[in-house]
Amino acid sequence: MNPTDVPIGAKFAIIHRAFRRELDAALREKDLTGAQFGVLRALDRLERERGGEISQRDIEELSRSSHPTMTEILKKLEKKGFIAVSPSAVDGRRKAIRQTEKARELGREMFRIDEETFAKFSSTLGAEEAARIGGMLDCLLENICGQKEGEKR
């Protein structure tokens, strides 16, 4: 494959799939699926940004998941010790969900694996070039995240 013949979108897709393979392999070792890890990341984000109690509905909205799907994922995560579920102090009809230290440690480990994967994929680049790629990706993410859903620039 000649990389110059590949459209930019396809390049992003190829890189994404390569990263996913590395991260999925690490998750399989922990007996987790990508969907379960995604829920843990959503919960982590909610805890950092909002603080306070996080409900299943909060995670569903951020993850864009249905209630039945989220219920099953949360049951499995609780059984595996990645989350703790308790009665809500705010609304007796709801349950409060929080990460356990096991989930936080997994998040740190996956971040480290992500960094190692980037280092492996960019091993033929100099440190300055690798840093520039990171900066460019940050810029792209800011542009994407700055758009409202369905809005075009």
Topology (CATH) of 34-116 = Arc Repressor Mutant, subunit A (1.10.10)
Dist CA 21 CA 6 (whole Å)? 20
**90-119 mean pLDDT:** 91
Q: Are 44 and 103 in contact (CB under 8 A)?
A: yes
Distances 152 to 9, 137, 144, 147, 148 between C-alpha atoms, Å: 17, 19, 10, 7, 8
Structure tokens at 145: 């995240």
pTM for the full predicted model:
0.74
Dist CA 95 CA 71 (whole Å)? 11
**98-124 mean pLDDT:** 92
Q: Is the pLDDT reported for residue 88 higher than 70?
A: yes
**35-51 mean pLDDT:** 91
Dist CA 41 CA 54 (whole Å)? 13
Sole residue written with tokens 């998941």: 65
Dist CA 114 CA 20 (whole Å)? 9
Q: Tell me, what's the pLDDT at 147?
A: 64
Sole residue written with tokens 């700055």: 146
Q: What residue spans define the domains of the chain? A: 34-116
Q: Which among 89, 20, 3, 79 has a CA at the least distance from the CA of 52?
A: 89
Q: Tell me, what's the pLDDT at 153?
A: 45
